[in-house]
Structure 1
Amino acid sequence: MGYRNFPMVPKVVFGSGSFDQLKQILAPQRKDRSPFVFLVDDVFENNTELTDRITLEYNDKLIFVSTIEEPKTTQVDAIVNRIRAEYKQLPSGIIGIGGGSVLDLAKAVSILLTNPGGAADYQGWDLVSKKAVYHVGIPTISGTGAEVSRTCVLTGPEKKLGINSDFTPFDQVILDPDLCIGVPKNQWFYTGMDCFIHCVESLQGTFLNAFSQSYGEKAYDLCVEIFLGDGNTAEESRAKLMMASWHGGMSIAYSQVGVAHALSYGLSYVLGTKHGIGNCIVFNQLEEFYPEGVKLFKQMMAKHQIDLPKGICSQLTEAQMETMIDTALGLVPLWENALGDNWQEVATREKLRELYLKM
């Protein structure tokens, strides 16, 4: 058998204040004065503390992107068209600064600048044929693993599915825990739980191997320490959660996620539920699949006084429920990892409906 030959992020800088090295990291990558395009979460639009630290030269451009909704294929296409209309040549690079949504947009835009068609054409596995534009990821919240993964998850006209390819991972990542100062508590929790759930799903999946396990166990232990322990300063917690996110992302690179992510995609596609909170709403109902993980998750919610929305599926039309179930069941690799080859015997339409109605 042939083993997957996975690309990893070739360069990473970690440390408090490392964001200020961005200019010197980018300098050797500039081609003939062609621009760098910075995609920045619009939560920073009125926060000059961050944007003032980005050095714009020549005709570099800062584009603030909205993350009110999960990233869409249409949003990617609009940014790509805007860049093409403004510049005659390809940018020297795309730099994403923000949470998982912005990082996923940056990865997708860098791919679509060198590959024909629209973002929806590449939703799936290994459909990208040309190398992306140089791209850099700078997370400002920790947990999604988007900074290290080979996917960028997008909601398209027909499905919610990532562009999974060897050209997706960033060429450079800057991990500066200080950029996570001031993240609202609920957001911190939901995104951190995305990481915890990655680990639970990877570690209990049938695709598990020593590579995934070594990263997954480390991230899992860090999450338990951060969200249930009391020994860390705020500064230590930020640094450790950044490492948990990295390790959690690496853990699923060589395995896969599972039931929570599959069902969460359904919520997101039909209701527009954000990924982090969607995972939490789903995971809260999955004792039968992940008993130990859900028990710890409930302890973490109690400790941090997190209340999840209830009854979000109670008003669904029959058509919406069917679409939600279709979306979830379409993610075959996730179910195979979670439940094995005979997953369809367990993950029936009736079972999914019953689970969704609990949410």
Structure 2
Amino acid sequence: MVSKVVFGRGSFNQLEDILAPNRKGRNAPFIYYVDDVFKGNHWLTSRIRLSYKDKIIYVPTKEEPKTSQIDKYVEDIILEFSELPSGIIGVGGGIVMDIAKAVSLMLTNKGESKDYQGWDKIKHPGIYHVGIPTISGTGAEVSRTTILTGPERKLGINSDYTPFDQVVLDPELTKGVPKNQWFYTGMDCYVHCIESLNGTYLNAFSQSYGEKALSLCKEIFLEDNLTKEEAQDKLMMASWHGGMSIAYSQVGVAHAMSYGLGYLLGVKHGIGNCIVFDHLEEYYPKGVALFKEMKQKHNIELPQGICANLSQQEFDKMIDVALSLEPLWENAIGKHWQTEITREKLTDLYKKM
């Protein structure tokens, strides 16, 4: 679990005090990875106070992070600084927070990041790392994984060393999120809840978090009695609880198939989950019905026909990626999931998208 959490509107202003006890010296900087949407946004960046050799690196977020990108960031740090950084801070959405987690781990674990895609391959704790979400829903601020696209697959670095050492939850930072992005990342949280609560890995611990997150999602996306600020606060906590729920159980069909879309077509995680989940009545009938209600209420139109012109070879690549995520399928279907989840079945589902 994340060992230290600060929550509250305006809590981002406390960042200097939060980081200070972890500074290791003049030559050990804090490296800030910041979503490049904030480049030139003095409302946010002016509150990041740099000292000594501290550095802000603006991260492009049009595409999800690649293992090669992580390796380049790590190499740049090693070549530029004489000491390991005092800490890595990710300020942004799931992409930026995943980059911060991955860089922290790869500074203390030899080799390339693609070698650590999978479960529990990390053997050494990363350096001190901090997550500061500026959009809510991904659960990246609390999860034990990253989402990385490698040369052969899209798969996270899942380990007990991946979660942040410190998280700062300031709902004010989410005020500029565009509506569609707000919906897609919010639905990432919603899908976390549905897949966790309907999975074979469910236990009382994950259930308690999943039920709370689901309740918050229903309130945020179906009711009209919340102020904008209340909705921001609640979605930030829904994201946290949803992330906690899957950290102690697992996700399912939508995430497995979304990883295939992301690897082949570059579809971002949140919208990819929505595109897939929209066709999963067979597995989550009540959850999909509620999702369609939320989609209609907020006038969201999902992309259609993204798989219409794919070759069988391309379908096979997506299916290979999806099938490699065995824990997700076991959670969704059970230990004998291979008898039900065939390549033909997945081909038919992808063709609907």
Do structure 1's residue 327 and structure 2's residue 328 form an aligned pair? no
- Give the corresponding residue for 1:356: 350
Do structure 1's residue 94 and structure 2's residue 88 form an aligned pair? yes
- 1:1-359 superposed matches below 5 A: 8-33=1-26, 34-359=28-353
Aligned AA (1:239): D
Quick one: distance in 1 between partners of 2:66 and 2:241? 26
Residue deviations 1:123-146, cap 9 Å, x none?
011111111010000000000000
Measured after TM superposition, the shift of residue 194 of structure 1 is 0.1
Aligned AA (2:5): V
Quick one: distance in 1 between partners of 2:269 and 2:121? 24
Measured after TM superposition, the shift of residue 344 of structure 1 is 1.2
Residue deviations 1:164-192, cap 9 Å, x none?
11110000000000000010000000000
Quick one: distance in 2 between partners of 1:110 and 1:163? 12
The structure 1 segments of at least 4 consecutive aligned residues displaced by more than 2 Å after TM superposition are none
SS class of match (2:135): coil
| TM-score normalised per structure 2 | 0.99
Aligned AA (1:178): E
Measured after TM superposition, the shift of residue 46 of structure 1 is 2.3
Residue deviations 1:71-99, cap 9 Å, x none?
11011011111111110100000000000
Quick one: distance in 2 between partners of 1:85 and 1:317? 43
Quick one: distance in 1 between partners of 2:238 and 2:88? 25
Sequence identity percentage: 69
Quick one: distance in 1 between partners of 2:176 and 2:87? 28
Measured after TM superposition, the shift of residue 327 of structure 1 is 0.6
Quick one: distance in 2 between partners of 1:83 and 1:61? 10
Q: CA RMSD in A?
A: 0.6
Gaps of 5+ in 2: none
Aligned AA (1:63): I
Quick one: distance in 1 between partners of 2:39 and 2:289? 39
Quick one: distance in 1 between partners of 2:53 and 2:338? 53
Residue deviations 1:30-86, cap 9 Å, x none?
002210000001111121211111000001000001111111101101111111111
SS class of match (1:143): coil
Gaps of 5+ in 1: 1-7
| TM-score normalised per structure 1 | 0.97
Quick one: distance in 2 between partners of 1:187 and 1:145? 15
SS class of match (1:160): coil
The number of residue pairs the alignment matches comes to 352
Measured after TM superposition, the shift of residue 349 of structure 1 is 0.6
Aligned AA (2:18): I
Quick one: distance in 2 between partners of 1:152 and 1:342? 27
Aligned AA (1:61): K
Aligned AA (1:234): K
